[in-house]
Amino acid sequence: MASVAQPLLLQTCAVFRTQRRGTQAQVPSTSGRARTPSRALLPGGQSITVHGRFAPRRRSDGRLGHPTVRSVNGSVLAVEEGGSEDEGELPAEELGGSYAVTMPPTPMNGVRTDLSEIDLATLVEADSVYNHELSWMSFNWRVLAMSLNHTVPVYERLRFLAITAKNLDEFFAKRVGGLKRQQAAGVANLVSKKREYLRTPSRQLELIAEACEAFVRQQTETLMDDVLPELRNMGIHLYNYYELEDEDRTQLREWFVNEVEPLLTPLAIDPGHPFPYLTSLAVNMAIVLKDPEDPDQSKSLLSIVNLPPSMQRWVKLPDNKETGRRNAFVPLEHVVIYNLDRLFGGMEIQSVNCFRATRNADVVRNEEEAEDLLEMMTDEVRERRFAPFVRLEVNENISEELVMTLTTKLNLTASDVYYMRGPLGVGDLFSLPVEFGMDSHLMYKHWAPLTHISLAAIKQKREIFKIIRTQDILVHHPYQSFATSTQLLVEAAATDPKVVAIKCTLYRTSSDSPIIDALIKAAEHGVQVAVLVELKARFDEARNVGFANKLEDAGCNVAYGLVGLKTHCKTTLVIRQEAPNILRTYCHIGTGNYNPSTAAVYTDYGLLTCDPDLGKDVMDLFKYLTGYHRQQRFRRLLVAPTSMRQTYMALIDQEIRNAQAGMHAEVTCKVNGIDDPVVTSKLYEASQAGVKVNLIVRGICRVRPKVPGFSDNIRIVSVIGRFLEHHRVVRYENGGNPKYFIGSADWMTRNLMRRVEVATPILDKNLQKEVDMVLQACMNDAHSWEMQADGRYVQTVNSIMLKTIETFGEAGEIADDTLQDEDDLPERATQVGVQMALMECYKLQRKKHKKKSRKASQVVRRTKRRGKRTFSAERSSDGGETRPGRHAGSMDDITYFSDTN
């Protein structure tokens, strides 16, 4: 049986340990009281002192307590609710009732903050002003701020932490991986010859490492010292193994022997055993051992154990009715570590350290030379599994000798190593299998998307075609249902005998996609189905290859996209034979993917229309995507890369001319990111001409506002909330006759020049008003972050917000009847933020619609009764001749949805 030697380093992988190197361990208390220091026993008899610490966030009556502002290094991080004696927290009143929260909390090295003396070329293109990677890090700081905000329910704060970790994983795989590839290819020499204000890949990697170190430090501190203690106070426990009772350990031992041990393969590292294959982002264990029977006691052995990928990361402990324990978990790696004697019989375990490695996902492809794009992408997915490593995460107390061994084996350098105080793979907290009701102290109150009021009366799926014939419908996800709008259109088309063709683009969709099922059903019913499946959607390549094969097997015509371009547009075309010589087109043009899962959490628009010009445009688009058809201009659609950027820039030029003529000129754009230098330069030109420029940019942004002489008229806000802001909307004032567009493209070079993107105009005046209100609400959002001239973002928390939070009790609650008029949406957003204001708005809209429908039903019933009486009277007076009753015409203004066509 394995023995445990001193000193044992097992505690270095106890993921909920909170000490730093050389400091005393801090273990969260399970109650709101500070716990008396106690001795925690580790295997082999070693013990450490543990303390409980928890600063109450709520008053005893459950209401939010005294607001405080949390600061780090003098920079305010987040407004918190509940008094605390912690160092670095200041009473909110001392700041005068308005609090500025800045992210990142301190300027990032490599980002120029003083732009007082700068020329236009440097402002637009210099890496010191805008760097994609550092701008993205700034965005992730704003997401992290959600986990610091104590007005957000605590379980949601945990989820935001997991989001930041998942974001960082993808960032390293894609962006850092790309820079590593450039570094290896010698791009540094090209950069130095091209422009002196562009940085080499090596320099960018240095700045990224520095920025990530500060970010991960704050991320870990938030998790260990803030979120986990509060979760424990709310009854959700994530235990260290050494905190468990003997009964729990015995049960886990039995479970390990029966369920886990058969899946584990200890892999020795020596001349006879090569270094094992490591899955990207998987948690592994490096075990240092000694053989007690080896005469050379200075010799250490190394073995690697991989966590089984098929098993849940978090092991749920049995509920305990006596203690009330319900949601209690321990990490799988803890269970493995404390039962390693089963794997290393007769060995002496010196230390155990968890580590996690990230592989490069930026694979080079040569589409021009590929004979089969499907085969090429299948090979790429396989190649990515064996791509070079770009990052190594280890426990902070790991020995330098072991780090050197791992970096050598993984072909990494010391700068690629990140020492983690807390758990590895924080993103795995997404999979924490917590069971609880909709407690607003823990999570946001559930939001069930509402059916669009124009579609609410549908009883048979085919009725949707009649409704779209009479009006354009703009659905707004996730406030309005994807299932009863976009999905319904495709499902109706799949079974409608009058539908002769369906054409659709698929970029990302869910694994059990009802859209895929509907397209297959349509093909089985004899409908001509053409699907453009974009195989190059990053990290969804394997899934999309599977979908493509499945659709082909069902008889669909499948195309894989254009060589050199990603197809990112979101369009569906349904063609219906409505009379012997009449083919009518029905279109969906959206800003988001055909994915029911993301439609529940991403904000997106989708236009359902029967407009014949848009229908012809979408038909021409599919000729371009599936065949050999070139078309530079479309009737109404804007299509990238052929015409979209040119049209957008021409419309900004018109705003510039209007401003110069003394007219009110304004451009409002809501996108996920802006990095295109041409767009950036044009926006600066517009600002200099007096055009008011409003930018709602969730993520990266090349434009800097409030730079004297360049961007005095530019305002930039970023909206971060419970839903991911995803729709792309552009509005031009156009001399008092505004133009509106929604589409799939961000104002980024890749979208405008290297992807097939589509934007559609919104022509209906009522829909224009609806979009305009949302744009105003976003600019007024109480929770929005506003970019400053130095590139950092400031969130102003005012007394109205705090009063609203106090009134409604929790940020997670959706108040009823607080918005009295839909036109008040922008004003309401200044109090509760645009997302909550929109939830209230659509609830109000539904309430009004139901009231109106009830009145209409009453009119119908009265009309029917009167019609019967009139019919009887006229029949008796006219000798049985039947004539229309006097109320027969009153039915004309009542809308019925009984058409079965």
3-state secondary structure of 805: helix
Checking if the pLDDT of 897 tops 60, the result is no
In a domain, 518, yes or no: yes
Please give the average per-residue pLDDT across 161-187, as a whole number.
91
3-state secondary structure of 897: coil
Buried b (16+ CB within 10 A) or exposed e, 377-414: bbebbeebeebebbbbbbbbbbbeebbebbbebbebee
Which CATH number covers residue 572? 3.30.870.10
Instruction: Return the DSSP state at 19.
Output: P
Residue 174 or residue 806, greater confidence: 174
Give the whole-angstrom CA distance, residue 836 versus residue 848.
18
Structural domain tally of the chain?
2
Buried b (16+ CB within 10 A) or exposed e, 666-690: bbbbbbbbbbbebbbbbbbbbbbbb
Which residue type occupies 875?
R
Neighbouring CB atoms inside 10 A of 189's CB total: 10
In a domain, 443, yes or no: no
Give the whole-angstrom CA distance, residue 840 versus residue 84.
33
Three-class HEC string of 701-720: ECCCCCCCCCCCCEEEEECC
Exposed / middle / buried, residue 480 (Cβ in 10 Å: 0-12, 13-18, 19+): buried
Give the whole-angstrom CA distance, residue 143 versus residue 103.
10
Asked whether the beta carbons of 429 and 384 are under 8 A apart, the reply is no
In a domain, 873, yes or no: yes
Half-sphere exposure of 264 (CA within 13 A, CB side): 27
Last residue of a domain, one of 591, 626, 661: 626
pTM, two decimal places: 0.84
In Å, how far from its chain's centre is CA 592?
12
Give the whole-angstrom CA distance, residue 90 versus residue 666.
40
Give the whole-angstrom CA distance, residue 559 versus residue 130.
37
Peptide bond into 276 cis (omega under 30): no
Q: Return the active site residues.
A: 568
Asked whether the beta carbons of 760 and 607 are under 8 A apart, the reply is yes
Q: Band of the pLDDT at 295, cuts 50, 70, 90?
A: confident
Which residue type occupies 37?
P
Give the whole-angstrom CA distance, residue 292 versus residue 889.
100
Which residue type occupies 291?
D
Residue 537 or residue 325, greater confidence: 325
In a domain, 640, yes or no: no
Rg for the chain, CA atoms, rounded: 31
Checking if the pLDDT of 62 tops 80, the result is no
Nearest Cα to Cα of residue 124 among 710, 752, 794: 710
Q: Band of the pLDDT at 372, cuts 50, 70, 90?
A: low
For residue range 390-409, list pLDDT tens digits in order.
999 999 889 999 999 999 99
Residue 148 or residue 629, greater confidence: 148
Residue matched to tokens 């003396």: 117
3-state secondary structure of 479: coil
Task: Give Cα separations from 406 to 50, 411, 412 (angstroms).
Answer: 31, 8, 8
Residue matched to tokens 């599936």: 626
- DSSP letters, 545-576, are HHHHHHHHHTT-EEE---TT-EE--EEEEEEE
**DSSP H helix total and E strand total for the chain:** 24, 34
Nearest Cα to Cα of residue 47 among 89, 107, 6, 106: 6
Give the whole-angstrom CA distance, residue 726 versus residue 449.
17
In a domain, 851, yes or no: yes
Q: Which residues pair with 587 in a beta bridge?
A: 573, 609
Nearest Cα to Cα of residue 832 among 695, 719, 749, 748: 719
Q: Which residues pair with 761 in a beta bridge?
A: 741
Checking if the pLDDT of 539 tops 90, the result is no
For residue range 204-240, list pLDDT tens digits in order.
999 999 999 999 999 999 999 999 999 999 889 999 9
In Å, how far from its chain's centre is CA 138?
15
Average pLDDT, the chain: 82
Give the whole-angstrom CA distance, residue 799 versus residue 312.
44
In Å, how far from its chain's centre is CA 453?
27
Exposed / middle / buried, residue 790 (Cβ in 10 Å: 0-12, 13-18, 19+): middle
- DSSP letters, 56-104, are --B-TTSSB--EEEEEETTEEEEEEES----TTEEEGGGGTT-EEEEES
3-state secondary structure of 454: helix
Q: What is the pLDDT of residue 434?
A: 83
Provide the token pair at 377.
């992408």
Provide the token pair at 430.
């997404």
Residue 362 or residue 830, greater confidence: 830
For residue range 319-355, list pLDDT tens digits in order.
888 877 888 999 999 999 999 999 999 899 999 999 9
Which range of residues forms the domain containing residue 859? 846-891
Please give the average per-residue pLDDT across 623-627, as a whole number.
90
Give the whole-angstrom CA distance, residue 779 versus residue 834.
9
For residue range 177-196, list pLDDT tens digits in order.
999 988 887 766 555 545 55
Asked whether the beta carbons of 861 and 425 are under 8 A apart, the reply is no
Q: What is the pLDDT of residue 433?
A: 86
Q: What angle do CA 852, 856, 857 make, to 5 degrees?
A: 120
3-state secondary structure of 475: strand
Q: What is the pLDDT of residue 12?
A: 38
Neighbouring CB atoms inside 10 A of 370's CB total: 15
Last residue of a domain, one of 626, 659, 678: 626
Give the H/E segment covering residue 865.
helix 834-877
Asked whether the beta carbons of 498 and 577 are under 8 A apart, the reply is yes
3-state secondary structure of 408: helix
3-state secondary structure of 492: helix
Give the whole-angstrom CA distance, residue 129 versus residue 703.
9
Residue 20 or residue 302, greater confidence: 302
Give the whole-angstrom CA distance, residue 590 versus residue 697.
18
Asked whether the beta carbons of 822 and 849 are under 8 A apart, the reply is no
Q: What phi-psi label fits residue 135: left (phi over 0), alpha (psi between -120 and 50 degrees) or beta?
A: alpha
Provide the token pair at 730.
């552009």
Please give the average per-residue pLDDT across 521-549, as a whole number.
83
Last residue of a domain, one of 626, 646, 677: 626
Asked whether the beta carbons of 353 and 333 are under 8 A apart, the reply is no
Residue 823 or residue 324, greater confidence: 823
Nearest Cα to Cα of residue 558 among 509, 515, 519: 519
In a domain, 218, yes or no: no
In a domain, 189, yes or no: no
Checking if the pLDDT of 60 tops 60, the result is no
Q: Among 43-57, 307-321, 769-783, 852-866, name the one with the lowest average pLDDT.
A: 43-57
Half-sphere exposure of 871 (CA within 13 A, CB side): 9
Asked whether the beta carbons of 526 and 553 are under 8 A apart, the reply is no
3-state secondary structure of 263: helix
Give the number of residues written for the chain: 901
Which residue type occupies 339?
N
Q: What is the pLDDT of residue 192?
A: 52
Straight-line distance from the first to the last Cα atom of the chain, in angstroms, rounded to the nearest whole number: 76
For residue range 667-714, list pLDDT tens digits in order.
999 999 999 999 999 999 999 999 999 999 999 999 999 999 999 999
Instruction: Return the DSSP state at 722.
Output: S
Close Cβ partners of 859 (under 8 Å, ≥ 6 residues apart)? 890, 894
In a domain, 485, yes or no: yes
Residue 608 φ/ψ, nearest 5 degrees: -105, 120
Asked whether the beta carbons of 312 and 433 are under 8 A apart, the reply is yes
Q: Band of the pLDDT at 34, cuts 50, 70, 90?
A: very low
Q: What percent of the chain has pLDDT over 70?
A: 77
Asked whether the beta carbons of 742 and 605 are under 8 A apart, the reply is yes
Instruction: Return the DSSP state at 640.
Output: E
